[in-house]
Amino acid sequence: MKRLEDKVAIVTGGAAGIGLGCVTRLLDEGAFVAMIDLDERRCLAASRQLAAEEGRLRTYVADVGKEAVIAEAVRNAHRDFGKIDILVNNAGIVRPWKSTHEVTEQEWDQLQAVNSKGVFLSTKHVLPFMMEQKSGAIVNISSIAAILSFGGISPYHAAKGAVRAMTKNDAMDYAKYNIRINAVLPGFVMTDMVREELETLYPSYEEGLAAATAAQPLNLMGQPSDIAAAVCFLASEDARYITGSDIIVDGGYSA
């Protein structure tokens, strides 16, 4: 029997990067997975990549920042699978890389709409199903940006700090329904998001990669599978005594 056999998991932003790593690992551990993502093209590519999992994976194109849209996607996932046991709030964006006085109101709102409000909305619409069944596990992907500063990226820090704080509040509020809510704080993980940032912030991608790798005591870049391992642990019964907690997965960067 696999650790997450017959559990039903929703992963937001599941069509690429860390989200896709989580989808892949959840499927490997026996779960059925509803992948929610804004990008239809990426959803198609991801479901082709995971074609062997046909029947256990469904995709839903939706923007986590829009309440009516995400509510409908969650309802559809529940209709298609019959229950929701696990929610991985992963969808996120990183731009703009700007300090506070340079950020426009629109840029601020755009980032919070995905990274912070998106977590609120997905959680809000999944919780009633979990409360009804009196069980569930929610894992929020925050960031080490919630606990330390990179500088020059204030909207992102604000959003990731909000997600970490919301995790702790929600863990207290929903423990009585046997719903556990935890956060994972990744460091530098090799995804499109990080590739783009390294290309932007350094003279070349290769230089950026060397600098980011050397900044980590383990001298390693993280992979989506490293984050997925922590997510699946927190989602499983192995973590039955853990709620309101963080796991930092960053190669020692924040140590």
Q: Site size for ligand NAI, by CB under 6 A?
A: 29
Nearer to ligand NAI, 131 or 193 (CB): 193
Q: How far apart are CA 19 and CA 27, in angstroms?
A: 12
| Part in contact with ligand NAI (CB under 6 A); list of ranges 33-41, 47-55, 104-112, 171-179 | 33-41
Q: Is 50 in the site for ligand NAI (CB under 6 A)?
A: no
254, HSE (Cβ side, Cα atoms, 13 Å) = 16
Q: Is 251 in the site for ligand NAI (CB under 6 A)?
A: no
Q: Is 19 in the site for ligand NAI (CB under 6 A)?
A: yes
Q: Is 246 in the site for ligand NAI (CB under 6 A)?
A: no
Burial of 143 (0-12, 13-18, 19+ CB in 10 A): buried
Radius of gyration over every alpha carbon of the chain, rounded to an integer in angstroms: 17
Q: Is 226 in the site for ligand NAI (CB under 6 A)?
A: no
User: Quick check: is 156 catalytic?
Assistant: yes
Q: Is 39 in the site for ligand NAI (CB under 6 A)?
A: yes
Q: Is 37 in the site for ligand NAI (CB under 6 A)?
A: yes
Q: Which residues pair with 57 in a beta bridge?
A: 33, 54
The two three-digit tokens of residue 99, written as one number: 């300090």
| Part in contact with ligand NAI (CB under 6 A); list of ranges 22-30, 90-98, 100-108, 239-247 | 90-98
- Note the helical H segments in 82-188: 105-115, 117-133, 154-174
* Sheet containing strand 86-89, strands side by side: 57-61, 32-37, 8-12, 86-89, 136-141, 179-186, 246-249
| Part in contact with ligand NAI (CB under 6 A); list of ranges 169-177, 188-196, 199-207, 240-248 | 188-196
Which position among 60, 156, 174, 253 bears the catalytic label?
156
**Catalytic residues, which ones?**
156
